[in-house]
């Protein structure tokens, strides 16, 4: 984070209202702002300038940049994004897991490769339109991550894997504002994106049909049909390929009975789908790996926290126990519904993010 002086700062500009307002606020604060837009598909498909051109780009982000009087550049990250995010997304589904690509993208692409490009262009920090806050803690000599003040828009969950060196260079101008305030301020400034609707889909699957996307990547098939069984191993029916399902799913099972069945687990090793009733979805414990901590480098003793297992999940009270390596065991006070391997578990104390990692399995 840039402190005590105004210097050059880069803003990751998607062409949406949040990143546009992040740039506008920083210009008004006196920073020398440059806008960077990631090209995540091939240049031919995106219509962006070629990497060799080095020229400011077009599109909505460039319109906003022109409105603000700042330079704007296309940053071509197609190959890195395909390898680190898209290929990983497909592989996770093949393993029977449900990935969360936005967290991985923030760690490896936005505050990874894009931050590197920003520094090459002379920027000391990279700002985004995330609703989150940072804090330098003198006592621990570490950078902390805090929730954004708008409870309906807080995006700290998606930033929970950022390392100290990344958080040091991260800037979140919207963290102390609400979405409603940002909309009003965008209109007042006459930004061309003021009334733009938000996108809720995965950026590389704009129609939201991840099954069709997987079929296209896996050669027209997303798995071999197999048995649906209950927790005791009794056969209940047939599934159409494990990659079509996720934990907690109800639709598509087509199982007879007076009560609806839900997906409890996926077992790629045996190609079986384990189904059961809603009360069987709840789990009291889970194992989390690759945990990243903010207030301290590692967990040395059990700690109480509120744990969030999905972005829109209401965090539940739990105790976190250290395990060997970068793993922990989370024990909830009350069982939680649909604990899903591949998603992130993020730990909070009040507004402060203690850390987060990947859910390995429910117990």
DSSP H helical segments within the chain, as ranges? 17-29, 43-46, 59-68, 78-81, 87-94, 101-105, 115-120, 164-168, 179-188, 210-217
Q: How many residues does the chain have?
A: 363
Asked if residue 317 lies in contact with residue 308, where contact means CB atoms within 8 angstroms, the answer is no
Beta-strand runs (E) in the chain:
8-12, 32-39, 71-76, 126-127, 132-137, 142-147, 170-171, 226-229, 235-239, 262-267, 272-276, 282-293, 303-308, 316-322, 328-337, 344-349, 352-362
- Using the structure block, give the residue that is written with the tokens 């109800």: 250
Q: Which tokens is 146 given?
A: 């805090």
Rounded Cα gap, residues 38 and 19, in angstroms: 12
CA distance 336 to 310: 11
Return phi, psi of residue 4, to 5°: 65, 5
Nearest to 13 by CA among 220, 192, 168: 192
Q: Other CB atoms closer than 10 Å to residue 239's CB: what's the count?
A: 24
Q: Which residues of 113-145 are buried (b: 16+ CB within 10 A; e: fewer)?
A: bbbebbeeeebbbbbbbbbbbbeeeeeeebbbb
Identify the bridge partners of residue 137 per DSSP, sorted by sequence position: 142
Q: Are 248 and 338 in contact (CB under 8 A)?
A: yes
Lookup result for tokens 């440059």? 34
Query: Which active-site residues does the annotation give?
Result: 105, 203
Per the listing, tokens 């414990």 go with: 285
In sequence order, the 6+-apart residues with CB closer than 8 A to the CB of 63 are 192
């Amino acid at each position: 984070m840039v402190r005590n002086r105004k210097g050059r700062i880069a803003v990751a500009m998607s062409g949406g209202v949040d990143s546009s307002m992040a740039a506008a606020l920083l210009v008004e604060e006196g920073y020398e702002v440059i806008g960077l837009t990631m090209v995540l598909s091939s240049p031919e498909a995106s219509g962006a300038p070629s990497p060799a051109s080095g020229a400011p780009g077009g599109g909505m982000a460039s319109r906003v940049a022109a409105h603000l009087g700042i330079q704007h550049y296309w940053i071509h990250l197609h190959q890195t994004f395909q390898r680190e995010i898209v290929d990983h997304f497909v592989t996770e589904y093949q393993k029977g897991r449900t990935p969360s690509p936005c967290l991985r993208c923030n760690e490896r692409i936005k505050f990874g490769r894009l931050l590197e490009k920003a520094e090459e262009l002379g920027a000391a920090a990279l700002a985004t339109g995330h609703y989150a806050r940072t804090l330098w803690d003198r006592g621990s000599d570490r950078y902390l991550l805090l929730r954004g003040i708008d409870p309906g828009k807080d995006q700290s969950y998606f930033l929970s894997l950022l390392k100290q060196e990344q958080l040091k260079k991260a800037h979140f101008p919207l963290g102390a504002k609400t979405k409603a305030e940002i909309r009003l301020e965008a209109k007042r400034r006459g930004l061309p994106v003021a009334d733009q609707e938000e996108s809720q889909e995965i950026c590389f699957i704009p129609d939201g049909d991840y099954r069709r996307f997987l079929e296209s990547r896996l050669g027209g098939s997303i798995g071999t049909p197999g048995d649906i069984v209950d927790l005791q191993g009794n056969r209940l029916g047939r599934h159409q390929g494990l990659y079509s399902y996720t934990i907690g799913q109800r639709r598509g099972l087509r199982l007879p009975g007076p009560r609806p069945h839900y997906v409890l687990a996926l077992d790629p090793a045996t190609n079986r789908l384990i189904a059961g009733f809603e009360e069987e979805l709840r789990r009291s414990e889970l194992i989390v790996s690759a945990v990243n901590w903010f207030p301290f480098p590692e967990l040395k003793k059990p700690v109480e926290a509120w744990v969030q297992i999905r972005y829109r999940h209401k965090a539940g009270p739990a105790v976190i126990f250290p395990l060997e390596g970068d793993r922990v065991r989370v024990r909830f006070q009350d069982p939680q519904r649909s604990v899903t391997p591949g998603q992130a578990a993020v730990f909070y104390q009040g507004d402060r993010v203690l850390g987060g990692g990947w859910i390995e399995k429910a117990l």
